[in-house]
Chain A
Amino acid sequence: MREAELVELEKSGATFEPRIVAFFCNWCTYLAADLAGTSRMKYPPNARIIRVMCSGRVDPQFVLEAFAKGADGVLIGGCHPGDCHYQEGNYKTLRRVHLLKTVLKGMGIEEDRFRLEWISAAEGDKLRAVMTDMVEKVRALGPLRLELPKEVFEEEEVAV
């Protein structure tokens, strides 16, 4: 099938596959994804994983840009509180995520599209569960569709 037809199908909602951008910390969640892989756990392949040195490296601009460029959901994975390789990077993430969630809500982006999870290097199973759950929730919400609709005006004439 041609690319254009696939895009058309997806737009119609018939074959919607959520696109998730996942920022995983190098020391915990990325290793959990590795573990899930080597343990042959199955989970939906919808996430594009981006490895960062620390969840604290995830600038809120990255999240907004992901949404602006077509992500249907954004997942941040970091070490459990107290376990950060850099001592407090994940606390900074936690605080930013709280405020970013308020902003995203104000911008009309549904809560389930943005998620922060603590997943240690040993928790391949949690990674599988989180991925599966998030993909299901975003699938239920449908495509984000941020692109602006064309300016269409109703019949704006009046005769007297």
Chain B
Amino acid sequence: MISSTHGGLWRVAWTIAWRGLHTYVRRPDLLVPSLVFPLVFFASFAGGLSALGSVPGFHFPAGYTAFQFVFVLCQSAMFGGLFTGFSLAFDFESGFARRLMLAAEDRRGIALGYALVALSRAAITLALITAVALATGMRITGDGIDIFGLYGLAFMLTLIGYGWAAGVAFRFRSIQAGPLMQTPVFLLLFLAPVYVPLALLKGWIHSVASINPATAFLDAGRGLISGVQEHTALAFVCALALIVLFTIWMLSGLRSAENSA
């Protein structure tokens, strides 16, 4: 049973968060890929596809680098959450999470603790990508409030990615479920206007992207960085709804893990 001591919840959460973050920064096999991958994506998309900025009909005030930066920011934010789900699954496989469930005063603290790890991991990655993007000459034409909104949205995406992955991890309790965590998020992100705006997509991808919530996230993010806002309210409402949905999914998964223990 999930107990309800408030102090216990945070005690467990902080302890797990400290351990998770400590492990993350001390293990190069976790830290390096999580930092290098977004940079490779950024280099490949913003550098390799910069000619797309000259495609007829492509108008983005902040330039193609900023256009792609928002995609990489959203992707890194979601994958920060996702990879924390991997760590949770790994902890179950190694038996650590089961021992944790026996010891925790309030088991919701376990879910909350890993959520804090996800947010911290995302913060490190997002800071690095932003620094590299600015160093390579990315232009930001939005104001301070817009940028605050952009990073707020990114952290909400981290919670969405984490909520989904943690729900899977609590149910399957094995790293074998990795593809199940990763594939839907990967598809969600890539079936959106990644390379060019929605208006320039043609055929089936346009139809899919039009109803994909990730399109709203990218449009809002690109609107915020350029100061020409588009779908901002829709993106925040979608993100909030998905956080609520995946929190329920994650907590029901936690209950399933408790029942199986």
Q: Do A and B bind each other?
A: no
